[in-house]
Amino acid sequence: KQEVTQIPAALSVPEGENLVLNCSFTDSAIYNLQWFRQDPGKGLTSLLLIQSSQREQTSGRLNASLDKSSGRSTLYIAASQPGDSATYLCALNYGQNFVFGPGTRLSVLP
């Protein structure tokens, strides 16, 4: 059974810092990995999708990497802003289903 963990569970940083969120998984037989953002009381917004054959994806200040052999993905946020405060979840797609990590709650302080 696929197990997904995210470390740290919560993170608080001052504005302007670069930061890394981690996602680990136990079964490397995945189709792709998706990073989401969830604001309090809201739904999930897709940030980046990395196909299993790719090593990384970039969108603006966000960069996500994937290392299937070690069962890890990282989400790098450059020059963090208070508006980045949210919970970040990774989700693995294998077969036609998704398994979600528990999320990292990020607070960026002004």
**CB 32 to other proteins: min, Å:** 6
Which range binds other proteins by CB under 8 A, 8-16, 56-64, 78-86, 93-101? 93-101
Place of tokens 């036609």: 96
Residue 89 touches other proteins, criterion: CB under 8 A: yes
Nearest C-alpha neighbor of 73 from the set 10, 25, 9:
25
Residue 34 touches other proteins, criterion: CB under 8 A: yes
Which residues, at least 6 apart from 47, have a Cβ–Cβ distance to it below 8 Å?
34, 35, 36, 37, 59, 62, 64, 75, 88
The three-point CA angle 79-50-101 to 5° equals: 80
Which CB atom, from 76 or from 100, has the smaller least distance to other proteins? 100
Binders in 56-85 for other proteins, by CB under 8 A = none
Site for other proteins, rule CB under 8 A:
31-32, 34, 36, 42-46, 49, 51, 89, 91, 93, 96-98, 100-103
